[in-house]
Chain A
Amino acid sequence: MNLSKFFKNAFLVMLACLVLSACATKKVQNQMQGDVYTGTETVEYLASGVPDRVFFATNESVLTTASRDTLRKQAEWLRKNSKINVVLEGHADERGTREYNLALGERRANAAKDYLMTYGISANRISVISYGKERPVDSGSNPLAWSKNRRSVTVKAN
């Protein structure tokens, strides 16, 4: 029976679609909590176990628990390597006006700077620069890409 075969095939295709989309959704969920990026795909390391960046929610500059954890590791590493200075590069996603995003990137980088300072890192070892929406890591136009781009990255300055 051609017709029943057709339905059977259609059913299988639909099932496959469902399974695949479920996987895709799960993948995105695993990389974001709320709209804060929690994945590791774009993260680089200043030293073993010391991630270089923290991520933010849309329009926010509040540090998440994971961000504070990362920054404490960075502070510990900076205390051990007292000759290293860093630049904190603040970024925003593409879903905002350019000028506001410059201010937002500055605010994010300074949130990270303040936290490093409370863990004993001297202000004169840290400089801050905002790139606003000018330097995305992911060129995608979707919530996951935007979450990777809302970040403050700690870069060695010397």
Chain B
Amino acid sequence: MIKKIKLSIILLIIATAQSNALIEVDITRGNLDPLPIAVSPLSADKDTNEKLTKELKIDKVGQEISSVVENNLRNSGLFNPLNKDAFLQKPNIAHLKPRFEDWSLIKAQALITGKVTLKDEKLRVEFRLWDVLAGKEMMALAFTTVPSNWRRVGHIITDKVYERLTGEKGYFDTRIIYVAEEGPKTKRIKKLAIMDQDGSNTKYLTLGNELVLTPRFNPTNQMVTYLSYFRNLPRVYLLDIETGIQEVVGDFPGMTFAPRFSPDGKKIIMSFAMDGNSDIYTMNLENRIVERITNHPSIDTSPSYSPDGKFICFNSDRSGYQQIYVMKADGSKVKRISFGKGLYGTPVWSPRGDLIAFTKLHKGKFYIGVMRTDGSGERLLTENYYQEAPSWSPNGRVLIFYRETKTDSEGKGFSAKLWSIDLTGYNERMVNTESDASDPSWSSLLSN
């Protein structure tokens, strides 16, 4: 369904990494002082433009790609892309040799230039990243791909620039799977949907005939696990988003829910409800062996593995109320880690391994927060009437979650939207979706 895309990346010139680059993005403080960056539109000759306009039905693909880059950089909160009207140098000339005085005049500290050509039906995009203050090239890369892949080229360029300037992997060439919602609150219609991280290329994976909830990506491939009420039997399913083939996970005599993949993608961990009691189980996708991980008369749910696969954090009310617990992957050494005021739910282990993100309910307000894996250093990032279910960007830098609005006295005005926030608590923003949306899950980087 969604084609696997092969991008050949040719390194043009190896960046002079040892050069004393003056620019550096401080990522520990968030977006207090975003780096001014100029994204010059990628240049293309007339012939290339005409051919691409015909094929892609968009004018000036070079400008469109640079807009993708610009939008990504702005949304990260770490960069301040400058207004193009102030650019003095023409894109094609800047790409050959920028006049650094012109760019420093408009306060740009970094500059991105590039060029698009069409050769043998393939789109070739090259770009360069320049350190304006030092007057040096920092990076130069070229990509060759099918023209319809032009947006992905923009995301990959952003990833390369982000990594070069922050020292961390990017998260732009990624997708979000979520639940698209419509209709009144009492009769919501829900469909699985997938989109690029920036909200474009939305595709619907189910028709809305049955209730679907909590889709989650396999961190190693394009498989998804989710909960479906197909034939009124709520069960965990596995879906291959490339082929559209789906299957029930395991043969359980009751509801299975709250699924998530293990970090190696070989197991699904989930809750199974038996006689009203929910415990945590795993199923190995290779040999189909089911293992019981917890055995307790309380509710045990929302399990999430640590990135090394050695531990599991989960939600349990064994203390009387919803709290977060950590145990070894075999279910031994269960330890409560949340001790603050209020109820805690939806723990998710950061891909960096050092933090657990969670939802907290306290005095009628919902918070998204993070704590260390031993429960210390609790930090609440955002407060709202209702929000829950954070999911980490693959670099462990950003959390995406969903928010629902309070209805008015007549029960009207309900909506559900996706939001994201930086780990630092800065740069809280709504993520655009075609319809109402909930239960987001962030994919791994599609390319490396």
A103–B299 CB distance below 8 A: yes
Question: Which of A25-33, A69-77, A130-138 lies at the interface with chain B?
Answer: A130-138
A97–B234 CB distance below 8 A: no
- Residue B276 at the chain A interface, CB threshold 8 Å: yes
Given contacts A97-B359, A106-B278, contact A139 B273 (CB under 8 A): no
Interface of A is mostly: mixed
A102–B404 CB distance below 8 A: no
- Residue A41 at the chain B interface, CB threshold 8 Å: no
Question: Which of B276, B301, B322, B388 is A110 in contact with, Cβ under 8 Å?
Answer: B276
Task: State A128–B317 Cα separation when bound (angstroms).
Answer: 21
B278–A137 CB distance below 8 A: no
Question: Which of A98, A103, A129 is B389 in contact with, Cβ under 8 Å?
Answer: A98
Given contacts A107-B277, A107-B299, A139-B185, contact A100 B322 (CB under 8 A): yes
Report the nearest B residue to A110, measured CB to CB. B276
Task: State A113–B276 Cα separation when bound (angstroms).
Answer: 9
Report the nearest B residue to A137, measured CB to CB. B186
Task: State A98–B214 Cα separation when bound (angstroms).
Answer: 9
Residues in B neighbouring A109, C-beta threshold 8 A: 276
Among B184, B276, B302, B406, residue most surrounded by chain A Cβ atoms (within 10 Å): B276
Residues in B neighbouring A129, C-beta threshold 8 A: 232, 234, 255
Residues in B neighbouring A142, C-beta threshold 8 A: 409
| Residues 364 to 410 of chain B near chain A (Cβ within 8 Å) | 364, 385-386, 388-389, 404, 406-407, 409
- Residue A46 at the chain B interface, CB threshold 8 Å: no
- Residue B188 at the chain A interface, CB threshold 8 Å: yes
Residues in B neighbouring A63, C-beta threshold 8 A: none
Given contacts A99-B302, A139-B184, A140-B407, contact A106 B255 (CB under 8 A): yes
Query: CB within 8 Å of A: which residues of B?
Result: 184-188, 211, 213-214, 227, 232, 234, 254-255, 257-258, 271, 273, 275-278, 299, 301-302, 315, 317, 321-322, 343, 345-346, 359, 361, 364, 385-386, 388-389, 404, 406-407, 409, 411-412, 414, 439
Query: CB within 8 Å of B: which residues of A?
Result: 59, 61, 94-100, 102-104, 106-107, 109-111, 113-114, 128-131, 134-142, 145
Top 6 closest pairs, chain A to chain B, by CB: A110-B276, A97-B345, A139-B411, A139-B185, A103-B278, A141-B406
14 examples of A-B residue contacts, CB within 8 angstroms: A94-B404, A97-B322, A97-B388, A98-B389, A98-B439, A99-B346, A100-B345, A106-B276, A128-B254, A136-B185, A139-B186, A139-B411, A140-B411, A141-B411
